Amino acid sequence: MTQTRLLYGANVHANGIRQHYLRYGGKGTPLVLVPGITSPAITWGFVADRLAKTHDVYVLDVRGRGLSSTGPDLDYDLDTYAADIRGFIDALSLKDVILMGHSMGARIAIRMARQNDAGLAHLALIDPPVSGPGRRAYPAKLDWYTESIRLARKGMSGTEMKRFCPTWTDEQCTLRAQWLHTCDELATRITFEKFHTEDIHQDLPYLKVSASLIVATRGGVIQQEDIAEIKQLNPEIKIVFVPNAGHMIPWDNFDGFIEAVFQ
């Protein structure tokens, strides 16, 4: 059996909802990891295990995903997501936090840090969608998410998930097939649409905490013109490229991702 640094899973009531998280390692600087649009916390376990060698890692189930609160009565906008993360950090009284977000999670981290960066030491922003009003569309397609969620709700195998994630290992596809049904389709749809109506660029000039932008070299989410604009908006942001990686960077180039995080 593979050794893991997973300590436990738990729930906390914060920002008016149940927030479920997994804690790894338990020693070192706190690191709060906010996954992307259809990534329950458990699917980031292989990354959290490595980060937990040196950090006290908390991986969140964002509302509408995993074991956290979900349903049509909840809001799924960027301000609400940001308030969730703020509430989580405050509820656990975490200090000197590295806030790491992937994709949707990176957008949430940017918004939260702009609104209230108390207790934050650093932002690690992994390939956030830079779409927004009047901007280039996010290159992924909504149907890719909704079709796979519907199949997962019925019950699907890792082999069937390979159609959606052909470069992933069998183990990774099996885990995604097991957990994807916990990603609410409405929450996913609203979030995807808001990738194109909510603007994170307006937040970047107001970030006071140090930040690194970790960019995939494949997938086209962040392009050279985007990097130029981001550097103009906030010259202090450090840009780190991960070679041979698409948007799901750790799945494509795990060692390159870890190296980028600790640069």
Summarised one tens digit per residue, pLDDT across range 222-262 is 999 999 999 999 999 999 999 999 999 999 999 999 999 98
Which pLDDT belongs to residue 263? 78
pLDDT for res 1: 46
Place 2 in a pLDDT band, splitting at 50, 70 and 90: low
For residue 194 the two structure tokens come to 């808001």
Q: Given 3.40.50.300, 1.10.357.10, 3.40.50.1820, 3.30.930.10, which CATH number is that of 6-136+198-261?
A: 3.40.50.1820
pLDDT at 191 over 60: yes
Predicted model pTM: 0.97
Per-domain residue ranges of the chain = 6-136+198-261
pLDDT tier, 219 (very low <50, low <70, confident <90, very high otherwise): confident
Helix axes 185-194, 142-154, angle to 10 degrees: 170
pLDDT above 90 for 47: yes
Give the whole-angstrom CA distance, residue 139 versus residue 40: 21
Distance linking the first and last C-alpha atoms of the chain = 31
| pLDDT tens for each residue of 155-185 | 999 999 999 999 999 999 999 999 999 999 9
Ramachandran region, residue 66 (left: φ > 0; alpha: ψ -120 to 50; beta: rest): left
